[in-house]
């Protein structure tokens, strides 16, 4: 992952994909890989860990809400307390929020 000013470059087998971080809805850990979920509903698998993205993306817009999930606060549509804590994203995804991260989530949303 390389920072290209406003865009990120993510390598893949045939080259690389450039995208604006604002296009990301949320990111999900998949073993040592990361599934990038875009706001248009598309997905992209990267071979880097979620931790790499957590450190790379703007801390004021992206928040780790679970050991396996980072959300883009700009893509947050709703918060639910229903059999746990959930972030409902604009792309329709329902992302779990860990109990020990709810307080940080609330602080980030209200700031």
Q: Which residue has the tokens 């809805």?
A: 25
DSSP 61-111: TEEEEETTEEEEGGGEEEEEESSSEEEEETTS-EEEE-GGGHHHHHHHHH-
- Name the CATH architecture for the domain at 24-110: Beta Barrel (2.40)
Give residue-wise pLDDT tens across range 13-39.
Answer: 788 889 999 999 999 999 999 999 999
Distance, in Å, from the CA atom of 72 to the CA atom of 21, rounded to the nearest integer, reads 9
Sorted by where each begins, the domain ranges of the chain are 24-110
Per-residue pLDDT of the chain (111 residues; tens, 9 = 90+): 444 457 888 877 788 889 999 999 999 999 999 999 999 998 989 889 999 999 989 889 999 999 999 999 999 999 999 999 999 999 999 999 999 999 999 999 998
């Amino acid at each position: 992952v390389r920072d290209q000013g406003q865009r990120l470059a993510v390598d893949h087998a045939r080259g690389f994909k450039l995208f604006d971080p604002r296009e990301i809805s949320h990111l999900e850990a998949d073993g040592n890989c990361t599934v990038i979920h875009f706001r248009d509903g598309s997905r992209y698998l990267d071979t880097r860990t979620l931790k790499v993205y957590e450190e790379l993306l703007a801390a004021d817009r992206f928040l780790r809400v679970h050991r396996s999930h980072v959300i883009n606060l700009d893509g947050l549509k709703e918060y639910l307390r229903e059999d746990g804590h959930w972030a409902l994203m604009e792309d329709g995804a329902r992302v779990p929020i860990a109990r020990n991260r709810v307080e940080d989530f609330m602080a980030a949303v209200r700031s």
